[in-house]
Structure 1
Amino acid sequence: MNRLLWYPPAETRIPPRAFARALLTARSGFESSLCSFLGAQRCVSANSGRALMTMLLQTLKKADNKNRDQVLIPAYTCYSVAASVVKAGLKIAVYDLDPHTFAPDEASLKAAAGGATLAIVHQHLFGIPQPAGPVHQAAGGLGIPVIEDAAQGLGGFLNGTPMGAMADYGIFSFGRGKPLAAGCGGALTGNSETLESIKSPAGTKGAAAMCTSMAVQVLSHPLLYGIMERLPLGLGRTIFDPGFAVGGMPQAVKRLAKSLLADLGPSIARRRSIADVYRSCLPDSRTVPEPQGAQPAYPRFPFLAGPGEISDRLFRRGVRRMYPRALIDEPEITRYFAGPGIEAPGARQIARELVTLPTHSRITRQTARRISELLMEEC
C-alpha cells in the first residue's frame, strides 16, 4: 500500500451536482421528502440529532403528569444520546445489550423499565436493523413512548419497514460519517400529535456549512486525509458535552440533504456489497448477524477484534475503535445516572472488543479483502 494513502473510517462522497442543486435551488422541501421516504406524517429539523432528542424529551416531560424523570438508553451508545438526556434536565437509566447481536438484552430491559421511565431509546448500531418488539413489550404495559435512534440507519429496512419508522418517534443525524452525510443537521419524525408542538428552529442560509462540506470532500481523499488526521481537529474523538447548541438546520444543507436522499439507495447498496466482502472473509463468530429480513445501512462494518491497539497498517486503511467505554464506565456520565449499582457486561464487552471497518465508496472489494486478511493476521 502506498504510504501516502490514508483512508477515512467513514465518508459519503457528494457529487458536484448535489452541491450545485443546493446552492441554486430556492426551496428545499426536505422535510416532506423525508416523510414520504419513511411513510411518516410529521418531520421536524434542527442543527443536529442530539438537539432534536433534547427538544423531544423536554416536550414529553412537559406533557407528563406522572413525575417521570428517567430516560432508558442503551449502555453502549453514542455519548451524544446521554448528553441529550442531561440537557433536557432528566436522569439516565441504561439497559444492557447482547454483545454478539447488539440487540437489547431483554431481561436487562424489562428490569430497568419502570414507573419513573419517561421514554425508552431503541438503536440500530452501524445501521443493522434491530427488531423493536422487545422494546415495545417493555414499554407498552407502562405507557412509555419509544424513541428510535436511527442516526446510523437511514436507508436501511427490516421486513420492508424503514429504520426510523419502527417506533413512536425516529431520530436521524446527517453529520459526517452518517448514511446521509450532509455535513450537519438532523430530523425528528413520527405520526404523534406531540410533534405538532415542536417547531423546526430557523436556520442560517448555510453558506459556511456548504464551504465546510466541500472542504471535507477534498480533504477526505486518501492522498490528503492523513493531513486531517495529524491536525488537532478531534477526528474520531467521542466526548460527552451536554452544553451543545440547539438551533436550526441551515437552508442550503436542507437542499443538499434532499438531493442526497434521492441518491441514497445506490449508496447503501454499494456499502452492503463491501459488507458482503467482509462477511465472506471474516469468521461468523466475530461478526454481527443480520436479523431475518434485514437490509442494513452499514455506515461502517462492525467486527469483534478483541482488545488491543490498532496497527498502523489497519489504521491507514480506515479501521477504528468506536465509543471507547460503556456508559457505566464513564464517570462524567454516571454522575447523571438515576441510581448506582448498574451492571452491563454486554456493553462492556462491545466497548472492549469492537472495531469498525470502512464501507464507503473509496473502499474497493480488493481493499476490503486486504483489510480482512490483516485483521485475521493480527487479531
Structure 2
Amino acid sequence: MIPISQAPIYPQEILKTTSEYFKTSANSRNNSTAYAKFRDEISNYLNCKYVNLTCSGFSGLYTIMRAYDLKKGDEVIVPAYTCKDVLRLVTTMGLKLKLVDIEPYTYNMDPDSLNKEISSKTRVVIATHMFGYPCSIDKITEISHDHGAMVIEDACQSMGAEYKEKKVGTYGDAGLFSLNMGKPITTIHGGIVCTDDSELSNKVSAINDTFKKYGFMHQIKTFTYMFGYSLCNVNAFYSLVYSLMGNKNLGETNSISYSELGDLMYKYTEFQASLGVKQLSKLDAYNNARIKNASYLMENLDKDGLFFPEVSEQMKPAYSRFPIYFENISRENCNKLINSFINSGIEVTPYLPESLPHLYNEKSSDFPIAEQMTNKTLTVPTHPNMDKKDLDKIVEILNHRFHVLH
C-alpha cells in the first residue's frame, strides 16, 4: 500500500540519530544544543527572525492564541475547509468561531468572502495553505490588518512552499508549521512557530517555558513511533499497518494531537530536534520530488470532468498531497473509486469526510464552495517515495475507471 502522504525517514537514520543523541553529554542535552541548532536553521531557511519549537502544530497554535491574550468570546475567523481540529481548538479555548468560504479548486480562504465577514470584532484570522498550495496571503493580510485583526498563517502542510518568492508562513503576524507524521518533514510530533515580532516571540517562549517535559517513557514511545514510521517506507509493511489500523492513514490517525488542552502543554524534545536537523536538510529535495510528481499527474490526467489547482508563476506549491475535484460524481461512485485505488495498493482519501459548516451547525448554503469541494474532492499521493510506475497507476485508474463511473 502506497501511503497518502509521507516524509521519508529510514531505519538507519533513526538509529544514527539515537546513537548521536546518547553519545552527546548529558550537560549538552540539558543545554538544548540540538534544539538551538534546529531552531536557528529553521530561522535561516524561512528568513524569519524568531522561531519557537512546540510539541505539535496544535500546541503551536494554542501558544500563539494565548500569546495574543485572547479572551473568551473573542472572534476568530477560519476557512470553511481546513483541518477540523483547528476549529475544535478555537471553540475549546472558548473563542467565537466564524467560518468564511473558500476559493474553488485552491481549497484556500477566499479573500472576497473574508472581506464580507470580517469586522472590528474580529481578533484573529487563521489563513491555511491547504495541501502545500499557497493561499492569497497578501490580500488576506491586508484585509485583516485593515480591520485590526492579527493573521496566523497555518502552513502546517506547506513548509517550503513559496508565494511571490517568499516562504509561506512568513507573511502574517505569526506562522505555524507541523512536524507530525504525514507533513513535508517530520519528527513524528512537533510544531514550529515563526514570527518577526519579538514581543510575540517572547510571549510564546514564556508560555512554552511553563510546559512540562516529556518523561522517559514518552521518549521511548516517540522512538518506537519513529522506527515504526521509518519501516513504513516499505510498502508491504505499510500495507500491514494500514490493515491492522482498520484502513486508517498512519499520519492522519496520529496527527489528532490532543483530547484536552493539557495534552498541548509539553515541551519539544532534544531527541526530536536532532532528527529535525537532518530532515530539514532534505526538505527542498523532498518538495522538488513532490512538485515533479504533481506535474506529471497534471500533464497526463484526462481533464474531462477533473479539476485541480492551477499554478501561477508567482506560486511554488509544496504538494503535500494532490487534490482532485470530480465535477460529476455521486458519493456512491466516489466510494467505488476509492476502493479501486485501495485494491490497486494506493491510499486515496477525501480529506474531509463531511463539511465543517455542517459539523458546527452552520448553513451549508452559506458556504457553497466549501460544501462542493468537500463532497467531490479526493486527494492522491505525491510524496518522494513514489516512482513513475505508481504515478502511471493513478493516471490509469482516473483516466479509465473514473470515466466508466462518470
Q: TM-score, normalised by structure 2?
A: 0.83
CA pair 241-79 structure 1, distance change in 2 beyond 3 A: farther
How many angstroms does 1:273 deviate by? 0.9
Return the alpha-carbon distance in structure 2 between the equivalents of residues 279 and 57 of structure 1: 38
1:106 shift after superposition: 2.8
Structure 1 residue 347: deviation in Å?
0.6
The 5 Å alignment of 1:1-379 reads 6-16=1-11, 18-19=13-14, 20-21=16-17, 23-25=19-21, 26=24, 27-28=33-34, 29-62=37-70, 69-192=74-197, 193-199=199-205, 200=208, 201=211, 203-204=213-214, 206-232=219-245, 234-235=248-249, 236=252, 243-244=260-261, 245-246=263-264, 247-283=266-302, 286-305=307-326, 306=329, 307=331, 308-309=334-335, 310-315=337-342, 316-330=345-359, 333-334=360-361, 343-379=366-402
Q: Which runs of 5+ in 2 are unaligned?
A: 25-32
Aligned residue for 1:50, secondary structure, equals: helix
Query: Which amino acid in 2 is paired with 1:211?
Result: T
1 CA distance for matches of 2:183 and 2:257? 19
Give, in angstroms, the shift of residue 250 of structure 1. 2.3
Q: Paired residues, what number?
A: 365
Question: Residues of 2 paired with 1:239 and 1:155: CA distance?
Answer: 23
Whether the 8 Å CA contact 1:74–1:97 is kept in 2: the answer is yes
Q: In terms of mean alpha carbon deviation, does 100-109 or 170-179 score higher?
A: 100-109
Structure 1: unaligned runs, 5 residues or longer: 1-5
Identity across matched positions, percent: 21
Task: State the Cα deviation string for residues 235-278 of structure 1 (Å, max 9, x = none).
Answer: 35697966251112222111111110011111111111111111
Compared with structure 1, are the counterparts of its residues 140 and 345 closer, same or farther at alpha carbon in structure 2 (3 Å cutoff)? same
Which amino acid is 1:231 matched to? L
The residue type paired with residue 11 of structure 1 is: Q
What's the CA shift string for 1:212-248, capped at 9, x where partnerless?
1111221442112222122247535697966251112
**Match of 2:380, SS?**
strand
- Alignment partners' CA distance in 1, 2:66 and 2:347: 38
Structure 1 residue 17 displacement after superposition:
5.4
Q: Within 1, Cα distance between the matches of 2:385 and 2:256? A: 27
Alpha carbons 2:187, 2:272 under 8 Å: kept = yes
- Measure how far apart 1:279 and its partner are: 0.6
Native 8 Å contact 2:322 2:382 kept in 1:
yes
Give the Cα separation in 2 of the matches to 1:373 and 1:97: 30
Q: Helix, strand or coil for the counterpart of 2:201?
A: helix
Distance 1:239 1:15, change over 3 A: closer
Question: Residue 215 and residue 341 in structure 1: after superposition, are their counterparts in 2 closer, same or farther (change >3 A)?
Answer: closer
**Is 215-224 or 263-272 further displaced after alignment?**
215-224
RMSD: 2.3
1:10-67 superposed Cα distances (whole Å, 9 cap, x missing partner)? 11211455421354144312111111111111112211111111121122135x7xx8
Q: Which residue is equivalent to 2:30? A: none
Distance 1:203 1:162, change over 3 A: farther
Scaled by the length of structure 1, the TM-score of the pair is: 0.89
